[in-house]
Structure 1
Amino acid sequence: MGRAAVPDQAGDMATSHLTAVALAAVLTGLDASLPPPDDRSPSRSGAPALEWTGCARTGGPADQECADLTVPLDHTDPGGPAVTVGVSRVPGGRPAAERRGTLLVIAGGPGGSGIKRLAEKGEALRQRTGGRYDLVAMDPRGVGRSTRASCGLGPQDRMLTALRPWPDGAGRIGESTARARRTAEACGRNGGALLRSLSTADQVRDIERFRQALGAEKLSAWGISYGAYVGAVYAQKYPHRTDRWVLDSVGDPDPALVSRAWMANTSQAVEERFPDFARWAADPARENEPGHGDGPGRGDGPGHGRPGGGLRLAERPEDVRPLFLSLAARLDRAPRPSATPGVPLTGNTLRQALHLALYSEAGFAGLARLLQEVQDPRARPVLPAELTAPVPDEDVAVMVAVVCNDVRWPGRIPEYERAVAADRARYPLTAGMPANLLPCAFWKDAPAEEPTRITDDGPSNLLLVQSLRDPATPHFGAVRMREALGRRARMVSVDRGGHGVYLGVGDACSDAAVTRFLTTGERPETDIRCPAPGPARGADG
């Protein structure tokens, strides 16, 4: 979310600080007046049995297993064509009588692999929840070991800087418009019925089919980023099937916009997050960290414009932003060869590198080195790995299709030109990209159904957790989700930057709140705010 064309990276950060959190006990319970089940729900005749086989990954739980679940291509035609959805499980470890139930891990994206996410976080999640849950996950249709779709795009149209609709250096959108049209036509020509079925609505129905196959009366869940939105839609469609539901780094649920709002919100989100990087890059402690010229392929000497050695970019935080903007503008005028043959470093490449780095403090050092290299005329700038090669065509297909199948996008080019110009002036760091058009503006097939409206109808069993300075799903968007859910939810806001909170940023306050909810059902009595890292303090709010 917020970067729909990027594989999910939420929660790959690992730092820690100690702080206390006092939570009042509010036990979740079912509401007596629930909306009727989704009238397009999977067949009540039951899903086929799952045949589990070992699929452990290096570094993941040794007992992780996978299976293939057959689901209808079109859930309104359960006897028609079928597709395969890959699913996975990690046993809780406790005797059945001591387990709470089944907890679904919903990866982000669109296009994130739940099986991979379970491998990455399954062991930590099992330990935090004390083995009370059998952990499960799913590769959505179009992803990973599930049935895949293809758009048949050429390599240049699959570069990340092409998938994100960056205007050119002068703010014109002619090139990105032509690429969007070309992509939409290729997807319409090559994607077929499977591509048209890639949507949040069908992922939610596939989850319900998975629940049936597991024989679970209810599911608990931890959804991250776009997966948190999927979780919110499931909780709206099947409230009577939800137990304890965690939405981590969630976006604005406005049903008139959905992904259009997520993309547009990126402009302000990046501006709010950038000061964290500026403070880091101006900290005198950066003088002692290896900088440009200190590693292989990093040029022939120290960078220019730095106050000293190491990774420090400026003496004051307020000087980092104009430095970045000036370097991006310089690259707009004169792109540089990079260390990757055939992939130049342009202004938009630098802007995309910035957005990637803002997801986690772990990315700050790489961005600082890149900015040093841009200042050194002798250097061959080393690009982030995500910017050096095309995204696989099958990954592009699901990323684009879900965004375009979920909601209608305007098709009037002058409207985008005006929006880009205004956004570019207001938010220079993103240069108008979040206001630009995607292939959705030329999508052949209108969405099959309207997006789900999130409401306060249903049990009060949801917990939202959100950083205050998230560059992809900003806090103000999550607040709108919180408002839509009303009495059903509580929200834990964390005074940090980055994307993905639980088991990600090492924040003891928010981690304790989520763990307590999953293990005991207790939530904060009211919405709370976890303090910034520092001396141990209680949560306020």
Structure 2
Amino acid sequence: MDRKRNIRRGSALLAVLGLAGALAGVPVASAQGGEAVAQVRWGACPEDVRAEAPQLQCATVPVPLDYNDPEGAQLEIMISKLGSKNPDKRRGVLLLNPGGPGGSGLAQSEFLVSKGLPPSVPDSYDLIGMDTRGIGHSSPVSCGFTTDGAYRGNIPPYAVDDAAVTAQARTAQRVAEQCAANDRDGRLRHVSTANMARDLDRIRVALGEKKASYLGYSYGASLGAAYASMFPDTVDRVVLDSNYGDTHLDRDGLRRYALGMEQAFPDFAKWAAAHQDSYGLGRTPDEVRATYFTIARRLDKAPVNGVDGALFRLNSFVGLYSKVSYDRMAQAWRSLLDAKEVAPGGNPPTGTAAPAPNDNAWSVFLAVTCNDVEWPHDLQTYRRAVAEDREKYPLFGAAGADVLPCAYWRHPAEAPVRVEDKGPTNVLIVQNQRDPVTPLRGGELLHEKFGSRSRLLRVDGSGHGVYVLGGNPCASSVTTSYLVDGTMPERDVQCAASGTPG
């Protein structure tokens, strides 16, 4: 979702604090042959990062605000390092991105280690996390979102009827105008996937590396696809986990959220039916599905305790990200079925104009998504799509097809990065077969575009995120072997749910 669409969703909410310790960057020149020389000075990370990942060191790397004016205004990109403790096995750096766009990645290395990243990977690489441009500690941008605003997040609300699409369009237009009004230093239009990919290569140069490897999840996979396409000669081993299908999230990718929910929901429905005695949501998967619609329609008519039908559908969609969320989601459903108290509306009370905790994450998501590709400006286009997808994908279709502020964005989109099929076979595409956010079709589309450069690793699994996060031994073995030993599968791989090759 991106909004979360990412495996470090919590990190996107970190407060923007001042730098802690003596961090200093020096100008980064282009590599001009000869031995690469490191150009960063490592020091203590900011306090919030140290609290989450105390082993890390941090530094800043200057990059141009506008790559068409490389000597003009500069941004500071903060990076982190979890250094290899085995110099004999170290082969380089592994750049990490958790997704979003809008997720902080400074603590990503320690997060992956805590989740069971095979030790051979941090032995083989210095793990390099970062806040990409506009995020957290890297020259953050803001649309000025507040807790009393109408904007709920980066996935449009489920539109129960045509009038709801028109209402969302008015909200989307106000948000686009608000972002433009808050962009006082002109940074927002330079927050794009193409510029983030250019920043990655600047970071590689600053680290003194002739090549860099990359591991990205969700939107991080799109960024990695752009990086591998724009810099095929300096990108080493690339793993793209949970894919939108291109280097950017466009309208087709957003609408595939509905397909993803339809494909992932049966796993939850089967689980809930097996736990009928605990939750009472239905004795069969079909009954559980019927319960979903019963709750949603009831909340469409009368919100319960601040939860309306749109918020219920969104929370259920997010609940499919991981099987560890099933229990919590089932309990929430049960509470809504049993609730008697009725309260109007689902938004926070007005008059409490505090900064929204998600302001930075939402702002980056909109900047990247709207700057990367042109979105339709005609409201009728969205009205037709919502009507179509409400029927085709009844669980969530009328959300993914609804109106984003991109329809009213003030800046013209940069030409999207084209997936480059010319280059070495060094892209491993990793994909669950049932993913609510990035369904299997996204991985297949990206594989088709990379052609001979890529291999597709399909996993008979459910949820968002495979490597380390999914717990499938086959997927872990194939991915780790590639990162550590360079063993790219000769052909596409299918991993069974049991964790064995299919």
- State if a TM-score over 0.5 links the two structures: yes
Deviation at 1:501, TM superposition (A): 0.4
Of 484, 498, 507, which aligns to 2:449?
Answer: 484
Q: Structure 1 pair 79/147, CA: closer, same or farther in 2 (3 Å)? A: same
CA contact (8 A) 2:432 2:459 kept: yes
Deviation at 1:523, TM superposition (A): 2.0
Deviation at 1:215, TM superposition (A): 0.5
Structure 2 match to 1:508: 473
Structure 1 match to 2:133: 141
Looking at structure 2, the residues matched to 206 and 117 of structure 1 have their Cα atoms a distance apart, in angstroms, of 18
What are the within-5 Å matches in structure 2 for residues 374-385 of structure 1?
A: 374-378=336-340
Q: Deviations over 1:24-68 (max 9, x none)?
A: xxxxxxxxxxxxxxxxx98558999322113364564x4311111
Which moves more between the two structures, 72-81 or 494-503?
72-81
Of 70, 76, 80, which aligns to 1:88?
Answer: 80
Structure 1 match to 2:268: 277
Looking at structure 1, the residues matched to 437 and 107 of structure 2 have their Cα atoms a distance apart, in angstroms, of 21
Of 2, 26, 35, which aligns to 1:4?
Answer: 2
What are the within-5 Å matches in structure 2 for residues 99-498 of structure 1?
A: 99-122=90-113, 124-125=116-117, 127-129=119-121, 131-157=123-149, 160=152, 162-172=153-163, 173-191=165-183, 192-253=185-246, 258-283=249-274, 286=275, 308=277, 310-337=278-305, 344-378=306-340, 390-447=356-413, 449-498=414-463
Deviation at 1:399, TM superposition (A): 1.1
Q: Deviations over 1:367-393 (max 9, x none)?
A: 111111111134799xxxx9xx94432
Amino acid at match of 2:271: W
CA contact (8 A) 2:80 2:107 kept: no
Q: Deviations over 1:329-384 (max 9, x none)?
A: 010001112xxxxxx11001110111110000011111111111111134799xxx
Structure 2 match to 1:19: none
Q: Structure 1 pair 10/81, CA: closer, same or farther in 2 (3 Å)? A: closer
Looking at structure 2, the residues matched to 44 and 128 of structure 1 have their Cα atoms a distance apart, in angstroms, of 29
Looking at structure 1, the residues matched to 339 and 90 of structure 2 have their Cα atoms a distance apart, in angstroms, of 61
Amino acid at match of 2:325: G
CA contact (8 A) 1:111 1:398 kept: yes
Q: Secondary structure at the match of 1:421?
A: helix
Looking at structure 2, the residues matched to 370 and 453 of structure 1 have their Cα atoms a distance apart, in angstroms, of 42
Structure 2 match to 1:79: 71
Q: Deviations over 1:502-540 (max 9, x none)?
A: 00011101000001111111122211111113xx7x412
Which structure has more relative contact order (CA 8 Å, sep 6+)? It is 1
Looking at structure 2, the residues matched to 391 and 158 of structure 1 have their Cα atoms a distance apart, in angstroms, of 14
CA contact (8 A) 2:430 2:457 kept: yes
Looking at structure 2, the residues matched to 126 and 509 of structure 1 have their Cα atoms a distance apart, in angstroms, of 13
Looking at structure 2, the residues matched to 93 and 420 of structure 1 have their Cα atoms a distance apart, in angstroms, of 53
Looking at structure 1, the residues matched to 126 and 423 of structure 2 have their Cα atoms a distance apart, in angstroms, of 24
What's the RMSD between the two structures over aligned residues?
Answer: 2.5
Q: Secondary structure at the match of 1:262?
A: helix
Q: Percentage identity across aligned positions?
A: 36
Gaps (5+ residues) in structure 2? 11-27, 349-354
Looking at structure 1, the residues matched to 372 and 267 of structure 2 have their Cα atoms a distance apart, in angstroms, of 33
Looking at structure 2, the residues matched to 274 and 410 of structure 1 have their Cα atoms a distance apart, in angstroms, of 29
Of 527, 533, 540, which aligns to 2:492?
Answer: 527
Instruction: Give the paired residue count.
Output: 467
Q: Structure 1 pair 86/134, CA: closer, same or farther in 2 (3 Å)? A: same
CA contact (8 A) 1:110 1:398 kept: yes
Looking at structure 1, the residues matched to 212 and 293 of structure 2 have their Cα atoms a distance apart, in angstroms, of 47
Q: Does 1:51 align with 2:41?
A: yes
CA contact (8 A) 1:115 1:139 kept: yes
Q: Deviations over 1:478-522 (max 9, x none)?
A: 101011111111111000100010000111010000011111111
Looking at structure 1, the residues matched to 150 and 200 of structure 2 have their Cα atoms a distance apart, in angstroms, of 29
Q: Deviations over 1:72-109 (max 9, x none)?
A: 111121211111111011111112x4311111112200
Q: Structure 1 pair 516/369, CA: closer, same or farther in 2 (3 Å)? A: same
Q: Deviations over 1:151-172 (max 9, x none)?
A: 1233244653x54222443343
CA contact (8 A) 1:65 1:89 kept: yes
Looking at structure 2, the residues matched to 229 and 143 of structure 1 have their Cα atoms a distance apart, in angstroms, of 17
Q: Structure 1 pair 258/170, CA: closer, same or farther in 2 (3 Å)? A: closer
Gaps (5+ residues) in structure 1? 13-40, 287-306, 338-343
